[in-house]
Amino acid sequence: MAPRKAGERDMLESFYSVIALVFILVACVELCDAATVVDVYRLIQYDISGVPFGSRLAALNHHAGSLQFAPGADLSRTVVIIPVRELNMSFVKEYIVQRQPLGGLLFLLPQMFNFDNRDGMGIYHQNHGKELLRNVMVELEQLLIHANIPYPVYFAFEDSDIDAVLADINKNDAIGQPATATTGGFKLVVSAPEPKKLALPTITNIQGWLPGLKSDGDASQLPTIAIVASYDTFGAAPALSVGSDSNGSGIVALLEIARLFSLLYSNPKTRGRYNLLFGLTSGGPYNYNGTQKWLRSLDQRLRESIDYAICLNSIGSWDNELWIHVSKPPENAYIKQIFEGFSNVAEELGFKVGLKHKKINISNPRVAWEHEQFSRLRVTAATLSELFTAPELMERTGGFVDSRHFVNETAIIRSIKLVAESLARHVYGHQGKNIQIFSDKSSLAVNPSYIQLWLDLLSRTPRVAPFLSKNDPLVMALKKELEDHTAEVNVQHELLDGMFTFYDLTKARLNIYQVASVTFDLLLLLVLGSYLIVLFSFLVITTRGLDELFSLFRRPPSRKVKTA
């Protein structure tokens, strides 16, 4: 009897050890099944000359809270979810500027700014309520870009899932029960590695060359006119910086002008005696770094042959006034000629063009307009823009506020007509004459669907330069488009100026878990323990009788009696 029992006990022990081993092996399986998973976009992280800016962390693992927390509550382990519609700027300023401890921030943007959202795409909205929201968002973006934030900051779009979660959190916070480890609630988890520096951020400049008609007697170089636009953007959320107006409008205008002039230049009879140089430059937000490098790389003779350059910057949302910004004084003969040409055409088209002069300060590294890079190399240049004042560093560079809804195609079409007509009159020598080369019913009419197509594409493509690789699909597409319209296309890759350092990780997935508190678990354990005890007592009473139950507690004394 006894050896058999021992054998059975050995078998049981080995059985249990096998079970334990299986459990340990299975413990390696980690599954992540959240109720809600949301795409989130991280705030940009960058350094300027070693000074850190933006959000310095990416991984997130805290409880969620809302704006309705009790004043003075400790939020250092809470992620505050803020819908931008109900943004309280003073709260944000307090926590960011005064560097109060916070677990994380999650901003909810209206679906209107979501370029993936197909509803209402391509429609120009002019709505006062949206203007107010837009101003708030611009202010928020500027605040976030220039702050050094030691916790993760993410942006997400409002949708039904996250709205339901936020409503729940609001309810809990209003009762006064913020989510912590002991009271349950929602937990936001983003599992992301430590953000790393981008090793070699490249900026790519694309140039297209349309040669003019060289007659046999001409030995010297033909004069050149350059049309330039910078195509990259910068914003608080690099994965959302599509920059429809700054500078999607400029790119579209440049492509359309290239297309129109390629039609004219394809026939030797209508080819002008000017070369045309089209430049799509990168590095715009960083003091037009790319333009500078591109100009330096140009052949000196070519650079000297440039008569003047027109830079396009933000021409998509104006009503009846454009500005030409110059750095040479307005009394200069060339500037006068250019401005007269433009204002004549503008008058015919029914709007005004103003001239604005801004002196360059050589010692100041800040380059506010693209034409200043040309002027520093003594090339006459001007920028055509709807903006009256020069933007500051990293302002109006196509952040998440700059969405498709705020761009007016008609404005772009009028700008294209302005530039194209003025250019054509200069090239063909028809200054001052009332001739319309690109009239609406001719074969050289501005094509609205071409503009719409490119504008829609650019409004869906984030274009922050350090995150665009050398062979990025957009860069290849722009190159191919210029190849279609011009004779010779060159692509130049440069490294971004060492002053700026960027960090990766712009998109992530946020898991929202509904967690129960530790007290709930303890309560459940208590309930289950008492249930099992009750079950045990019930079974003992029904099968062995009440006396057995009491004898279980009386066993030790009875044993003593036995041995004695």
Partner 1 sequence: MTVFHFFNCAILTFGPHAVYYSATPLSEYDTLGTSVKAALVYLGTALVKLVCLATFLKVSENDSFDPYQELLKALIGFIDVAGLYFALTQLTHRNISQNHKFQAVGLGWAFADSVLHRLAPLWVGARGLEFTWDYVLQGIEANANLVLSISLAALGSLIWLRKNKPRTLIPIIYACAGIVATMPSITSYLRRGLGWHLPKVVGFELFTSLVMAFISCQLFAACQRPSS
Interface with partner 1 (CB under 8 A), residue from 361, 543, 558, 563: 543
Q: Contact, 350 vs 418, CB < 8 A?
A: no
| Shortest spacing between CB 162 and partner 1, in angstroms | 16
The yes or no reply on residue 513 touching partner 1 (CB under 8 A) is yes
Binding span for partner 1 by CB under 8 A among 111-119, 406-414, 483-491, 523-531: 523-531
515 part of the interface to partner 1, by CB under 8 A: yes
84 scored as a contact of partner 1 (CB under 8 A): no
The token pair that represents 222 in the structure block: 């033909």
Question: Which tokens go with 255?
Answer: 């492509």
Are 242 and 235 a contacting pair, CB within 8 Å?
A: no
Q: Is the peptide bond before 247 cis (omega within 30 degrees of 0)?
A: yes
Taking Cα atoms as reference points, which of 244, 233, 381, 370 lies closest to residue 307? 381
Measured CA to CA in angstroms, residue 419 lies from 227, 245, 288 at distances of: 9, 17, 22
Do 376 and 313 form a contact (C-beta atoms < 8 A)? Answer: no
Note whether 6 binds partner 1 by CB under 8 A.
no
Measured from the CB of residue 531, what is the shortest distance to partner 1 in angstroms?
8
Q: Of 260, 196, 252, which Cα lies nearest the Cα of 229?
A: 252
In the complex with partner 1, which residue's Cβ is closer, 15 or 91?
15
Q: Which residues contact 522 (CB under 8 A, 6 or more apart)?
A: none
Q: Does 2 bind partner 1 (CB under 8 A)?
A: no
> Which listed residue (13, 488, 521, 547) binds partner 1 by CB under 8 A?
521
Distances (CA, A) of 332 to 326, 338, 344, 425: 11, 10, 18, 20
With respect to partner 1, which residue has the nearer C-beta, 137 or 166?
166
Q: 85: which DSSP letter?
A: G
Binding partner 1 by CB under 8 A: which of 20, 37, 445, 518?
A: 518
Longest pairwise C-alpha distance within the chain: 135
Choices 21-29, 97-105, 140-148, 269-277; region in contact with partner 1 by CB under 8 A = 21-29
Does 536 contact partner 1 by CB under 8 A?
Answer: yes
Q: Using CB under 8 A, which of 97, 174, 532, 546 touches partner 1?
A: 532
Residue from the set 163, 539, 547, 559 that interacts with partner 1 by CB under 8 A: 539
Piece in contact with partner 1 (CB under 8 A), picked from 27-35, 213-221, 347-355, 374-382:
27-35
Kindly tell me which of 33 and 331 has the beta carbon lying closer to partner 1: 33
Decide if residue 123 touches partner 1 (CB under 8 A): no
Which strands sit side by side in the sheet containing 148-149, from one edge to the other?
148-149, 51-55, 45-48, 500-502
* Cβ 65 to partner 1 shortest distance, Å: 17
Residue among 20, 499, 525, 546 that touches partner 1 (CB under 8 A): 525
Which of 26, 51, 175, 200 is the binder for partner 1 (CB under 8 A)? 26
Looking at the Cβ atoms of 495 and 527, the one nearer to partner 1 is 527
Distances (CA, A) of 345 to 304, 385, 438, 467: 27, 16, 12, 40
Size of the site for partner 1 (CB under 8 A): 30
The answer for residues whose C-beta is within 8 angstroms of residue 303's C-beta and 6 or more apart is 295, 377, 379
Least Å from the CB of residue 545 to partner 1: 10
The crossing angle, in degrees rounded to 10, of helices 518-544 and 546-553 is 120
If the CB atoms of residues 388 and 538 are measured against partner 1, the closer one turns out to be: 538
Distance from the Cα of residue 202 to its chain's centroid: 18
**Cβ count near 185 (within 10 Å):** 22
Residue 396 DSSP code: S
Q: Check residue 189 for interaction with partner 1 (CB under 8 A).
A: yes
- 244 in Cβ contact with 459 (< 8 Å): yes
Residues 6+ apart with CB under 8 A from 7: none
Q: Per CB under 8 A, does 528 bind partner 1?
A: yes
Which pair of tokens denotes residue 147?
A: 């702050």
Contacts of 73 (CB under 8 A, 6+ apart): 178
Show contacts with partner 1 in window 28-47 (CB under 8 A): 29, 31-35
**In the complex, minimum distance from the CB of residue 525 to partner 1, in angstroms, rounded to a whole number:** 6
446 token code pair: 């501005």
Phi-psi region of 390 (alpha: psi -120 to 50; beta: other; left: phi over 0): beta
Q: Give the shortest CB-1-to-partner 1 separation in angstroms.
A: 10
Among 121, 302, 476, 540, binds partner 1 (CB under 8 A): 540
From 87-95, 138-146, 478-486, 515-523, span contacting partner 1 (CB under 8 A): 515-523
Residues between 165 and 184 that touch partner 1 (CB under 8 A): 184
CB nearer to partner 1: give 61 or 68: 61
Q: Which is nearer to partner 1, 89 or 524 (CB)?
A: 524
Q: Does 535 bind partner 1 (CB under 8 A)?
A: yes
Q: Hey, is 356 helix, strand or coil?
A: strand
Our CB check for partner 1 shows the closer of 492 and 514 to be 514
Which residues contact partner 1 (rule: CB under 8 A)? 8, 23, 26, 29, 31-35, 184, 187, 189, 513-516, 518, 521, 524-525, 528, 531-532, 535-537, 539-540, 543-544
